[in-house]
Amino acid sequence: MARTSPQMPVRLAQSAFALFSRRGIANVSLDQVASHAGVTKGCVYWHFQSKDELIKAACAHYYRDFHRRMNAEIAPVRDPLKRLERALRRSVRICLLDAENRVFTMDIWSLSLRDTEVRRGWQQFYDSVREFYIGLVRAAVLSGQMEVDNPERAVNLMLEAIEGIKLRAMFEPQICSPAEENEIVKSLLEILGCGKRAAKAARFGFNQQHTGEYRTP
Amino acid sequence: MARTSPQMPVRLAQSAFALFSRRGIANVSLDQVASHAGVTKGCVYWHFQSKDELIKAACAHYYRDFHRRMNAEIAPVRDPLKRLERALRRSVRICLLDAENRVFTMDIWSLSLRDTEVRRGWQQFYDSVREFYIGLVRAAVLSGQMEVDNPERAVNLMLEAIEGIKLRAMFEPQICSPAEENEIVKSLLEILGCGKRAAKAARFGFNQQHTGEYRTP
DNA sequence: ACATTTCCATACTGGCCGGTATGGTTCGCG
DNA sequence: CGCGAACCATACCGGCCAGTATGGAAATGT
């Protein structure tokens, strides 16, 4: 067997994800994915049965990569609250500030309408992210740095807010400009119960006449 | 001139909307739209320049039809609070309980990512809906049936909740089953300030382990 | 009555792209 | 050293579909 590149499926999934995020899944052909990976379509069809398979592989790659980056982000830090804050900041950068990522997410949602597997994949990913954050919050609570009566509920509210911002950014991209990073992270921390005022204070105003801030004071 | 059907553009837009909602815009050809309207593609290309034009016409038709149905719903009633409640119930039926409508909305959002005109169209629609509800709320406040310190903010929260539920329904369709209609309407009314407790009590738990209810008690 | 415009049907084209068939190269293995 | 399997490139097919070209019928103008 010609083991020229044992990581070829990963490379293809990476290229697929990159192009899908940039131009949308429907507007990317397998020839383009192959070309981006430095190979041809024959190679793609040797590693994957169909375009659907490649799409699912791109999703799986994104999900794995997200967790890898999150773990790498919190690994060098011991302080529970700092770990939570770093994770949040990284999540905001990946999922919100990156417009291409928002495109990919939107496409996946749209696909989920008719493809059960894609839908289940996203659900599973979402669940794992929730568990990840619940663990971080619990650790911060145990260390006495936070006071949260219901971590699961708090994390749910926070994740809801992220999705809400993502949705709103579709029509007001400026709310996800790099300059807004600190404000977004602060809001999410408040939702989790870090601020004096609880989640109710950190509502984000979807499609409100934009005043440059997304929190409703 | 053969005035066989002066309403042909409307018929085509209707058929387009119906098929788009059922199977997704990308999966519907112009031949199918024409066939659904009882004509052929030549007719379509006589009234519209391209498929994009037809898509925008379908959107415009949906937006117009929505307002028409809303006005027809509240027209026969004089009591301000009842008008608001009827409008809400109708909105929930149209935008949430109808799965096909959710498909159409999702497709429009996805298109909005790359098409400026489609995006602006939706923004405009959303703004008009907000103004519509602000008017209803103000009327109810003036009649003394509601106490809302900031109608605009309340309506924004309510509309956010609708979008949130729509998003969540993608992965948990059961929360938008017909049986949930009353609960959803009640929640939205609470968000608007009809219940004793204000919006904070009517949070919807996106992607929370579904307990059959979407309000977080 | 004839020409013209409106409105729509029929038939066709051409490109894109998912999928396949096949050939060639490299490696493992007996 | 040959044989076959793994791996990838090249070339090609065929269907779908947006868009076009053209023809024809009905209504209008004059």
Task: Tell me whether B170 touches chain A (CB under 8 Å).
Answer: yes
pLDDT mean over A65-88 = 97
Min mean pLDDT across A107-116, A121-130, B111-120, B189-198 is at: B189-198
Q: What is the pLDDT of residue A195?
A: 61
Contact A203 B126 (CB under 8 A): no
Does a structural domain hold residue A67?
no
Does a structural domain hold residue A53?
yes
Q: Please check whether residues B39 and B91 belong to one and the same domain.
A: no
Q: What is the pLDDT of residue B205?
A: 41
Q: Please check whether residues A57 and A83 belong to one and the same domain.
A: no
| Strand D near-CB residues (< 7 Å), A 42-81 | 42-43, 46-47
Q: Please check whether residues A58 and A88 belong to one and the same domain.
A: no
Q: What is the pLDDT of residue B193?
A: 85
Q: What is the CATH number of the domain that holds A47?
A: 1.10.10.60
> What residue numbers bound the domain in which A30 lies?
1-62
Q: What is the pLDDT of residues A20-29, one digit of tens each?
A: 999 999 999 9
Q: Please check whether residues B57 and B91 belong to one and the same domain.
A: no
Prediction ipTM score? 0.85
pLDDT mean over A176-187 = 95
Does a structural domain hold residue A69?
no
Closest Cβ–Cβ partner in A119, A123, A167 for B167: A167
Residues whose CB is less than 8 angstroms from the CB of residue A124 and which lie 6 or more positions away in sequence, other chains included: A63
Q: Please check whether residues B51 and B117 belong to one and the same domain.
A: no
Contact A164 B159 (CB under 8 A): no
Does a structural domain hold residue B122?
yes
Q: Please check whether residues B45 and B113 belong to one and the same domain.
A: no
Does a structural domain hold residue B7?
yes
Q: What is the pLDDT of residue B154?
A: 93
Does a structural domain hold residue A24?
yes
The protein footprint on chain D, as nucleotides within 7 A of a CB, is 4-11, 16-28
Does a structural domain hold residue A71?
no
Q: Please check whether residues A111 and A203 belong to one and the same domain.
A: yes
Q: Please check whether residues B49 and B127 belong to one and the same domain.
A: no
List, as own/partner pairs, every contact residues A62-68 make where C-beta atoms lie below 8 angstroms and the sequence separation is at least 24, other chains included: A62/A17, A62/A104, A63/A121, A63/A124, A63/A125, A63/A128, A66/A94, A66/A125, A66/A129, A67/A128, A67/A132
Q: Please check whether residues B5 and B107 belong to one and the same domain.
A: no
Instruction: Estimate the crossing angle of helix B51-74 against helix B80-91, to 10 degrees.
Output: 150
Distance from CA of B203 to the nearest CA of A (A): 9
Does a structural domain hold residue B70?
no
pLDDT mean over A171-198 = 85
Q: Please check whether residues B55 and B95 belong to one and the same domain.
A: no
Number of domains in chain A: 2
Of A14, A34, A62, which residue constitutes the final position of a domain? Answer: A62
Q: Please check whether residues B48 and B109 belong to one and the same domain.
A: no
Q: Please check whether residues A43 and A95 belong to one and the same domain.
A: no
The protein footprint on chain C, as nucleotides within 7 A of a CB, is 5-11, 16-28
Q: What is the CATH number of the domain that holds B178?
A: 1.10.357
Contact B122 A205 (CB under 8 A): no
